[in-house]
Structure 1
Amino acid sequence: MRLSAIPETAAVYYPILAAVGGPVNIVTIVILYFKNCGLSKCITRYLVAMATADLVVIVCNVILHRIAAIYCQDTFLFYTPVCRFVLYMSPAAIDISVWLTVSFTFDRLVAICCQKLKIKHCTEKTAAVVISIVSSLFCLKNIPWPFAYNSYGDLGCWLSTNVYISPAWIAFSWIEQLLTPVIPFFLILFFNIVTVKRILRANRGRMSLRQRNTAGNEKDPELMNLRKSIVLLYAMSSSFILLWMTTVIHFLLFRITGDFNRRFIFHHVTAFEEAGIMLQLLSSCTNTAIYTITQRKFRNLFISVIKYPLTLIGQLVKCEGNLQ
């Protein structure tokens, strides 16, 4: 991707992402909250929280930050208090979304691999506590961000050069990048490897048992559920890893080459970095959908919701035609 092509690509990409990601997450929240999709209350809690965090990412990071910078310059969004709030909520929402994904992945690890701990951990109450702690911690963790920006009078938010030369800010930037996405990236990879190995081991044991006891021609519901779990976990981990890989590689190269310390002189955003941002924001449309769309009840409800406006429009057109 050429550097000169980045603004043109972003100008098209972010509005499409907002137009798709916003409605998808809203529909997901409504269906999961008000309808019975056959999911446990614990899983539903996590998925609603993840979809809500992803919706905040779409609103704050994509619409109020990225799209506003392209199409809405010189508006109230660029008053210093407003833009500082947006620049605070953008990383906070991403942090919460990522770490809820980590928490959910760990919850599924416990549910599959730790039967004794499952009884205490995989409950709606525990899920609510984990969601509250994760949200509170990362709201607190991002408090320094509004103070990283300077303004001219009451307008604008420009990143201070102190961020690149002050030891305190450099330390904060290390912590910020390690917490999201480096540590979650490797935690999700590790959790899914452990979980998939456990599923495969249980799958082999059950298939061996069935071969001894039956002719092996009948379908085993538990084996089918195990296979679905493997597909689901691979889909979730692969999506997160692929969409965040560019950002992780950029961070590692950025620090190893020492470009961070020189950036206050030549402040620029490379094509590689912008591509990583685009991909990581795309995960706000896929994190929850990957799991929920694999559930038959949710899929049917989701399709019904999508079809409803089209059906309504068709009925209105038909009625108007009959009146004429």
Structure 2
Amino acid sequence: MTIVILCRGKCGLSKCITVYLLAMALADLLVLIFNVVLYEMNEIYFPDSFLDYTPICSLNLFLIFACVECSVWLTVAFTFDRFVAICCQKIRTQYCTYKTAVVIVTTISGLSILENIPIYFTLEPRIIIDNIPWFCDVKSSSYTIPMWVTYIWIDIALMPFIPFILILMFNGLTVRYILLSSKIRKGLRSSGSDPEIENRRKSIILLLVISGSFILLWMVTFIHYICAQITEVQYLHTDYNNPFTIMEQAGYMLQHLSSCTNTIIYAVSQTKFREEFKTLLKYPLAIILRLANYLKRKYVQN
């Protein structure tokens, strides 16, 4: 629904912002499709289906990691775009444009795919039945071979360690700029309400919610990543009595929730978006009422 509403272009948002929000919504939707529907729900409701063949399972996991990384870095890119728009007046007109947004979204999407290709080759069959490989496990060599260990640490740095730092830094600088400019504005206006101050206060709240939501929902996954590197803990274990397995699965659950909240925080906070959302919800009901009235008139005429 978010994608449909944004494509209609009636939310009063610039083309630059719309590109970022559309890309974020699409990336989050792909995370929910590949991760929740094709992986988690398949494991619970359709066990031993063709999706559990090792090649298909490996491809699905690769797509999951690529989509999650794309979603995270799109959030960083949009945070930086808002930082430039608010704090960097000199380069705002050159950077915050439709073409720049398209280039950045395309680049992030391509790099996310390329960076996660090695994931496919770190997986092996859990079991082989009648020469058919089933399920996916991380190869034990991935924890010992220096090349794979280096890759995993780089992957942890790219997601979510560096995004943590960048989102905190950009939002922190943005909040500081807003507070300083608001203080100056209050000094110039001796009395009376100021709509601009109220808008800036809402911007600070929005930025704090964005940073807090992202960090809290990714913290468990981040801690598990670190534990897996400094201990003998392995990924994708099925022993649900193991505390590290519970931590891993809880982290994935919160990570899925993060894919649901990003678009809501950015888009639903817009008044015109909420109006379009209500209109979209009422549209099917309006069609049904028109159809009912048309059938009623036909019945009366007959």
The answer to whether the superposition gives a TM-score over 0.5 is: yes
The aligned counterpart of 1:170 is 149
CA contact (8 A) 2:54 2:133 kept: yes
Aligned with 2:13: secondary structure? coil
Over aligned residue pairs, what C-alpha RMSD do you find? Answer: 2.4
Gaps of 5+ in 1: 1-26
Instruction: Compute the TM-score of the two structures, normalised by the length of structure 2.
Output: 0.87
The aligned counterpart of 1:235 is 209
CA contact (8 A) 1:98 1:184 kept: yes
The aligned counterpart of 2:194 is 220
Gaps of 5+ in 2: none
Deviation at 1:184, TM superposition (A): 0.5
The aligned counterpart of 2:51 is 77
Larger CA deviation: 63-72 vs 48-57 = 63-72
The aligned counterpart of 2:171 is 192
CA contact (8 A) 2:73 2:108 kept: yes
Q: How many residues align?
A: 289
Counterpart residue identity of residue 45, structure 2? Y
Aligned with 1:38: secondary structure? coil
**Which among 12, 30, 33 is matched to residue 4 of structure 2?**
30
1:28-177 correspondence to structure 2 within 5 Å: 28-151=2-125, 152=128, 153-159=131-137, 160-177=139-156
CA contact (8 A) 2:182 2:197 kept: yes
CA–CA separation in structure 1 for the residues paired with 2:200 and 2:69: 31
Counterpart residue identity of residue 203, structure 1? S
CA–CA separation in structure 1 for the residues paired with 2:28 and 2:255: 11
The aligned counterpart of 1:275 is 250
Larger CA deviation: 104-113 vs 74-83 = 74-83
Instruction: Go from structure 1 to structure 2 and tell me whether the alpha carbon gap of 1:174 and 1:74 turns closer, same or farther (over 3 Å shift).
Output: same
Instruction: Go from structure 1 to structure 2 and tell me whether the alpha carbon gap of 1:267 and 1:316 turns closer, same or farther (over 3 Å shift).
Output: same
CA–CA separation in structure 2 for the residues paired with 1:88 and 1:263: 17
Aligned with 1:144: secondary structure? helix
State the identity as a percent: 48
CA–CA separation in structure 2 for the residues paired with 1:282 and 1:320: 44
CA–CA separation in structure 2 for the residues paired with 1:196 and 1:316: 51
CA contact (8 A) 1:185 1:244 kept: no
Counterpart residue identity of residue 196, structure 1? V
